[in-house]
Amino acid sequence: MPPKTIGLVAHTGKPGVPELVNAVADEFAGHKIAVLIEKETAAIAGRVSDQPLKQIAANSELLVVLGGDGTLLSVAGELGETMKPIFGINVGSLGFLTCVNSSAYREAVECIAREKITFSQRTMLDVTAPGDGKTQSRVLGLNDAVFTRGELSRLIRLCARVNGEPLTEFNADGLIIATPTGSTAYSLSAGGPILQPESGVFVITPICPHVLTNRSLIVSESSVIEIEASERAYPVFLSVDGRNPVRLARGGVVSIRKAKTKLQLAGLPEASFFSVLRQKLKWSGSNV
């Protein structure tokens, strides 16, 4: 059965979003599908709603996100273990996750109403980091956990272990632990491989390593990856899915594993992973 209730949330700072919110909401109404609009999204569209994102998600069968990949990552991060299926309509630039362009919103709504959408099961990261005193902070991420040197133009040292066994000490600008979904993000820019979403692996990618033999390493998603901030002189920062970085104390160990929660990422039936790659990376074959 098609969803009876849709949750609608948007990046409120993008041009044209208020008009798009109203157009999408009206289109769903035409298909007799109820729409719950997140309160900040409703405010910019001139509609009335006092429901925050988590309340919208709890009462919806599908979330429709208007924005770029960053917006979708932000929504997924806020929902965490209360995740709901998400369909992204791209109002950004590249858009690997929100692969339906805003100009095709009518087609997207019709496909949702007629049950013609597909779902891709996306693995998420469970990241546990040392907090204040004996406490630990735990966050979920869809793309990656990134260790960086902050604003200092110096290399940092990071000891990596996989399932308790030492891997190496990276002397680099930083380190990326990415899911297959995140393999087309920062990890790709740092020279990492592109992974198929259901490949069942993580990729460890150093950022500008000092040792040229340090290359991306693919490990099973059942692995537990531990990263220790072994740098003595300079700070190390951790950011999950581009959120505000957290400073790690020397000797602090961050544990990264597969989360129990998965994201059901919805899309149009013709928008396969490889078709999106061809479009977004402009792969057109040989010019010879």
275 Cβ contact list (under 8 Å, min separation 6): none
Nearest in space to 91 (alpha carbons), one of 64, 118, 111: 64
Query: From CA 256, how far away is CA 264, in angstroms rounded?
Result: 21
**Cβ-contact 204, 176 below 8 angstroms:** yes
* SS3 state of residue 116: coil
Rounded CA separation 144/176 (Å): 7
Instruction: Name, in order, each residue with C-beta under 8 angstroms of 204's C-beta and a sequence gap of 6 or more.
Output: 160, 167, 175, 176, 177, 216, 217, 218, 219, 225
As a dihedral over the C-alpha atoms of residue 62, residue 63, residue 69, residue 71, rounded to 10 degrees, the angle is -160
Helix, strand, or coil (residue 284): coil
Phi-psi region of 273 (alpha: psi -120 to 50; beta: other; left: phi over 0): alpha
CA distances from residue 282 to 190, 217, 278 in whole angstroms, order as listed: 19, 26, 5
The number of C-alpha atoms within 13 Å of 196 and in the hemisphere containing its C-beta is 6
Q: Which residues are catalytic?
A: 69
- Region class of 32: left (phi > 0), else alpha (psi between -120 and 50), else beta: left
Cα–Cα distance for residue pair 26/191, rounded to 1 Å: 43
